[in-house]
A and B are shown apart, each in its own frame.
Chain A
Amino acid sequence: MSDDTQDHDGSRRDFLYLSAGAFGAVGLGAALWPFISSMNPSADVLALSTTEVDISQIEVGQRVTVKWQGKPVFIDRRTPKAISEAESTDLVDLRDPQTDADRVAQPDWLVVVGVCTHLGCVPKGQKPSEKRGNWGGWFCPCHSSHYDTSGRIRQGPAPLNLPVPPYKFLNDTNIKIG
């Protein structure tokens, strides 16, 4: 046997070993994936990850509450007065500075998660009969946090504005939250 054939054998052996190892690794990885994937949100959980809301029945000045991922979401069809108040606010007056434009997709509609950023209570102000606080937005009864017409914190212990959930307008009468 010449050296040449030995080399040839050797490289073929290495190749086979390497291939076997690579196939084994790929197989192991593929076999593990179902286990890991099973821990991710299941189909029934995913089905509840988004909420579509028909907003055609909401009148100017009216507020509705919808549930999204177990949390209340406030939808406010704002009055022109509320919009101008929200837009004209000076950022230096804000604890958590954000312009109104950053918080809405269309100025007529404000969509925020209705959970007080202080300790997670649900603020009042969705019903006309309820107190809306000193800035005309929402008022948290638990520890007197006041939010303005853009859902921004203005007074009280809460540190941050009401969070804006991910949402988009599907058309003029429907929005999809999540």
Chain B
Amino acid sequence: MGIVCNLRRAAAATGLIASVVLVSSSAIAAGGAKHAVAQDWHFEGVFGTVDRASAQRGLQVYLEVCSGCHALKQVAYRNLAALGFTETEIKAIAANYEVTDGPNDEGEMFQRPAVVSDSFVSPFPNAEAAKASNNGALPPDLSLQVKAHAGGADYIRGLLTGYEDAPSGTDVPDGLNYNPFFPGSFIAMPAPLAEDGVEYTDGTKASVDQMAWDVVNFMQWAAEPEMEQRKKTGFKVVLFLIILSAVLYAAKRKMWSNLDH
């Protein structure tokens, strides 16, 4: 009886929280963040494709800068073939990382270098460890970030390049940083990109803008690896359907022309 009673109260408490959320959701949305400027991305539009050179550089930015804190668990090393990397290159990239495997014959877990079939190795074993190393904030997985924000690629590029000094009078809380593109303007992530933060293998000058551009191209591919196949198939399907509609309409006109209607 006691338990049932408590269940009711617990359910009521949760209900209360939820209804509060309903009401209070209004408060934050009104606060809004600065809108990022829309960019002319290579992947946009009906015929848009992945800018492979840029996405390859973006992978380098991810691996050398972002992957210290951010996981990319939905993407496997084998997927990099779609960006134009060779089997040998992919094997070499994967081999830089260690994964826990096992148990072996002795029943022990063991470390081994990652292979192409592995997913990108996460920097932390779990969310709690990630929080503990990042002042309580959880660095989000980057696999789907482009799809997970209104404004998508533009938002992330704006965020990465949008760090600035807080306007006078704004009190930035300890451990947070000022970025007007982030909802609420205070973000736990310090400005991740610095001038020449990576040395691009293709010799491109690694400005902050360039790195942001490249890593967003990479993240867009990571979020929608099916995009090129989807658009290519879609073009054929829609074309077929338009012709089918036209033919059906003509047939219908012919059929109904015998009728008084």
Contact = CB atoms under 8 A, between A and B. Distances in A.
Decide if A and B touch, CB cutoff 8 A.
yes
Nearest to A160: B20
Contacts of B174: 131
Contacts of B6: 49-50, 166, 178
Nearest to A156: B27
B3 to A, nearest CB: 6
Interface string B140-181: 000000000000000000000000000000000111100000
Interface in B199-255: none
Contacts, number: 53
A157 B27 contact: yes
A5 B3 CA distance: 57
Interface in B1-45: 3, 6-7, 9-10, 13, 16-17, 20-21, 23-25, 27-28
A27 B23 CA distance: 46
B21 A113 contact: no
Contacts of A86: none
A115 B6 CA distance: 19
Tell me the interface secondary structure of chain B in the complex: helix
Nearest to A178: B6
B117 to A, nearest CB: 34
A50 B24 contact: no
Interface in A18-43: 41
Interface residues of A, number: 25
Contact of A157 (B3, B7, B9, B28): B28
Contacts of A41: 7
Interface string B83-119: 0000000000000000000000000000000000000
Contact of B17 (A115, A143, A178): A115
B197 interface: no
B68 interface: no
Interface in A120-177: 120, 124, 131, 141-144, 157-160, 163, 165-166
B173 A163 contact: no
A120 B27 contact: no
B20 A144 contact: no
B136 A124 contact: yes
20 contacts: A41-B7, A49-B3, A50-B3, A69-B10, A113-B13, A117-B20, A118-B24, A119-B25, A119-B28, A124-B136, A131-B174, A141-B136, A141-B176, A144-B173, A157-B27, A157-B28, A159-B23, A159-B24, A163-B17, A166-B10
Q: Which 5 A-B pairs have the closest CB atoms?
A: A166-B9, A157-B27, A166-B6, A163-B13, A178-B6
